[in-house]
A and B are shown apart, each in its own frame.
Chain A
Amino acid sequence: MDLLTFSLHNIFALLQQMSVFLVIAYLFTKSLFFRSFHINTLRWRQLLFLYFVFSIFSILGTYFGLPINDAIANTRAIGAVLAGIIGGPVLGVAVGLTAGIHRFSLGGFTASACGLSTCAEGLVGGLVHIYLIRSYQQHRLLSPTVAFFTTFVAEILQMAIILLVAKPFSASYALVKVIALPMILANSTGAAIFVSIIRDQRRMYDELSVTFSAKALKMAEQTVAILGHGFNRKTARDVAQVIHQETGVGAVAITDKKHVLAFVGDGNDHHHVGHKVSSTQTLKAIRENRIVYADGGKNKWRCNLSENCPLGSVLCVPLRLDDELIGTINLFEPKNKLFLVTNKTLGEGIAKLLSDQILYSHYIEQKNLLTVAELKLIQAQINPHFLFNALNTIIAISRKDAGRSRDLLMHLSNFFRKNLKRTGTISTLKEELNHVNSYLIIEKARFEDKLQLEIDCDPELLHLKLPIFTLQPIVENAIKHGISTLLGPGLIRLSAKKDQGLVHISIEDNGGAFEKQSQKGLGMNIVEKRIKNLCGDDHNLHISCIPGQQTVITLTIPEQGCKER
């Protein structure tokens, strides 16, 4: 047989056994282990697993080898080199050693040379691993090109070792001449194909999870916006539409504990919004507060409303608010379609997500309700002291000055009307000043010469928008806790000034009694909370107090005003 045909024959024979290998490699990539492993973070258990897998590859490579001249032309190198590239020098040498010892045990004049060279090949793979990691090229660990050339070099090394170690040299030389080319080519190609199989499988999984995540994120984004308006029929319909569109399932239904809130997709001719929940599985999910799944195979979904319902499988997931079931979300597939596992996972995830969102919007709603309630409270909390003292003052004044007492009654009336009638959350500085003005005029009458007022507001700021009922509680505080504790004359100074994009509104009194109040008090707290809520978190209410001399409350508001939320 002439050398060339023998070589070609060998190449084909080796390629044939390589195919067997590649089938095994393909099966390996289908294994559960493969899905869970990440090449950059191998744990010792995974390393151990890889050790066994590659050792078996390597040993099988020897077994499937072609006996030539008392030696074996084989694909043993693939296992060792790849173990080195993927798992590093330790794994590479370990696999090489194992396969090498095995080869050694089979005997022949190249036994020791082959055993040794397999170790060396594992080491070559390992060195390439180290090089790639050190030069931040981890992504090339699974590159077919790298695998090809590494194996290529490793095989040349093996041939060299055979020539050097195997005796007699003439025999080894003859052998190498025959096997070198087929083995180098077969092993290199095999390694490259093996790696590309692994890589393609991984890429498929990655792409799958990328699409999956993208879908989930897109849905999350859309549903967050919808559920911000609460959980009701309208938002349920919108959410169902989003899920229907994004998952591509046959139909989506959202229910509360008793009724259908939304139904989108196939079968909407007989599944109507507002009907009582009829689906056996949904009722079970509600009753037992757990996920119920009818896969459409053994466990079929049967429509209780229509014989002709196209739907055949369902996933019912409870929606919960603080662990309490408030409804369900149902994903249906038609009878002729399989319920995809990804859709099942996605469905469960969506329900969890929606539950969280409902909880959140519920919380926000509660928070808003609370602020509204608190606002009502300050409005209603017109200090009875103020009212009766005001009336008493006006009565006293009416004895001497009927005109003035009439004026004061008009202011009192204005003040009360404003308190009762003002709605919404935002007002202008002008309106706030008007409200406070009536209040101050009455207080001024009460204290007469004991109270002096100074108001200094930049006229440009009169249209500044700020939370309603911001000034009155602070001015009231300044009088109640500041001025009224003074034996001597009192001074209230109210000013509004612009400064570097901010407006500072300050209310100053000369009581300096703030330190005695350990906390801000309900009124002040609500004012501060509302400023933060409506004008932004970095705007606030600042208190400075020089005991016995002065208290200044400063509100900081953005120049462009605050916004209704």
Chain B
Amino acid sequence: MITALVVDDELHAREEMQALLEQTNVIEVIGSCSNGIDALKAINTLRPQVLFLDIQMPVISGFELLNMVHQDIMPHVVFVTAYDQYSLQAFEEKTLDYLLKPVDSERLAKTITKLSRTIVEKSEPVYQAEQIHRIPCSFGNRIKLTPLAEVEFVSTDGGGVQINTKDSTCFTEVTLKVLEERTPFLRCHKQFLINLDGVNEIILLDAGRAKIKTHSGKLIPVSRHFLKRIKKKILL
């Protein structure tokens, strides 16, 4: 069985997709999500092999979602959309396949065949991810897209990834690794990414370690290993 995650903001659309997939007897739907943020969380935790993904969704679109998934856990992607205003052929090469709603089960069968072959051949899904410009961030039950410029640093304490702005902190499902790769933020510590634009001063300590003071006065540790790189970057 191939594990799949269905992502669509419409309830009936999710249910229909799920029903169609279950009829194939090849796919096991391990989850369904109504938005990109929930989907990111599910991808990170459930590690589905394939994603049946709607494109037009609130807050973050299907494309944006893929930019936030790390290459190591990137599932195969099948776009499911009502209308190819995005001229999906252009994405065909990037993704495994695309389906038009309402989904025809015979057409779906072809997708499954292609999918099965790909999985048997063990070819890795390759999605040409783009840079992230806004990070989805939750405050309680609200979700906000935080522009990179507002971020001072990103931290993790094992429990989750925190986006720290000048005057607030929020949680994101995007991993530190993804943020390191797809934003200009620099790694300064195993658990920290720093936005160089948010640096006020770098305080050098003994044993090649340092601390960074942000504009809002917070102190971030810098480990020896990353200090050199940061110094190089700011031409010290």
Contact = CB atoms under 8 A, between A and B. Distances in A.
Interface of A: 384-385, 387-389, 391-393, 395-397, 399, 445-450, 484-488
Nearest to B143: A487
B201 interface: no
A399 B143 CA distance: 34
Contacts of B13: 389, 392-393, 396, 446
Interface in B162-180: none
Interface stretch (B4-12, B65-73, B109-117, B215-223): B4-12
Closest 8 CB pairs of A and B: A396-B16, A396-B12, A388-B82, A392-B101, A392-B102, A384-B83, A389-B82, A393-B12
Contacts of A450: 9, 11
A487 B19 contact: no
B95 interface: no
A75 to B, nearest CB: 97
Interface string B33-47: 001010000000000
Contact of A484 (B12, B56, B83): B56
Contacts of B37: 487
Contact of B101 (A388, A399, A487): A388
A448 B35 CA distance: 15
Contacts, number: 65
Contacts of A447: 10-11
Contact of B82 (A384, A399, A485, A486): A384
Contact of A385 (B12, B58, B83, B103): B83
B16 A487 contact: no
Contacts of B9: 450, 484
B160 to A, nearest CB: 19
B83 A448 contact: no
Given A446-B12, A487-B143, A391 B56 contact: no
Contacts of A393: 10, 12-13
B202 interface: no
B25 interface: no
Contacts of A486: 58
A392 B20 CA distance: 12
20 contacts: A384-B83, A385-B85, A387-B82, A388-B82, A388-B101, A389-B10, A389-B13, A389-B82, A391-B101, A392-B101, A396-B13, A396-B16, A396-B19, A399-B19, A447-B11, A450-B11, A484-B9, A484-B58, A485-B58, A487-B35
A491 to B, nearest CB: 15
A389 B100 CA distance: 10
A385 B15 contact: no
Given A385-B56, A388-B101, A485-B58, 19 more contacts: A384-B82, A385-B82, A388-B83, A388-B100, A389-B10, A389-B13, A393-B12, A395-B16, A395-B102, A396-B12, A396-B13, A399-B15, A446-B10, A446-B13, A447-B11, A449-B11, A486-B58, A487-B58, A488-B141
Nearest to A484: B58
B203 interface: no
B149 interface: no
Nearest to B84: A384
A311 to B, nearest CB: 68
B135 to A, nearest CB: 16
Nearest to A399: B19
B26 interface: no
- Could you tell me the dominant secondary structure of chain A's interface residues? helix
A65 B103 CA distance: 118
Nearest to A445: B12
A402 to B, nearest CB: 14
B82 A392 contact: yes
Interface in B50-107: 56, 58-59, 82-83, 85, 100-103
A486 B37 CA distance: 13
Most buried by A among B13, B101, B103: B101
Contact of A397 (B12, B35, B85): B12
A164 B15 CA distance: 126
A403 to B, nearest CB: 15
Given A388-B100, A391-B102, A448 B58 contact: no
Nearest to A511: B58
Nearest to B82: A388
Contacts of A487: 35, 37, 58-59, 143
Nearest to A488: B141
A447 B37 CA distance: 18
A520 to B, nearest CB: 21
A396 B83 contact: no
Contacts of B101: 388-389, 391-392
A385 B54 CA distance: 12
Contact of B59 (A387, A391, A392, A485): A485
Contacts of B143: 487
Nearest to B18: A396
A393 B17 CA distance: 11
B16 A399 contact: yes
A397 B13 CA distance: 9
Contacts of B82: 384-385, 387-389, 392
Contacts of B59: 485, 487
Contacts of A449: 11
Nearest to B19: A399
A203 B158 CA distance: 104
Contact of A448 (B12, B100, B141): B12
Contact of A396 (B15, B58, B100): B15
Contacts of A385: 56, 82-83, 85
Contacts of A384: 82-83, 85
Contacts of A485: 58-59
Contacts of A392: 10, 12-13, 16, 82, 101-103
A384 B56 CA distance: 13
A253 to B, nearest CB: 58
B39 to A, nearest CB: 12
A163 to B, nearest CB: 105
Contacts of A388: 82-83, 100-102
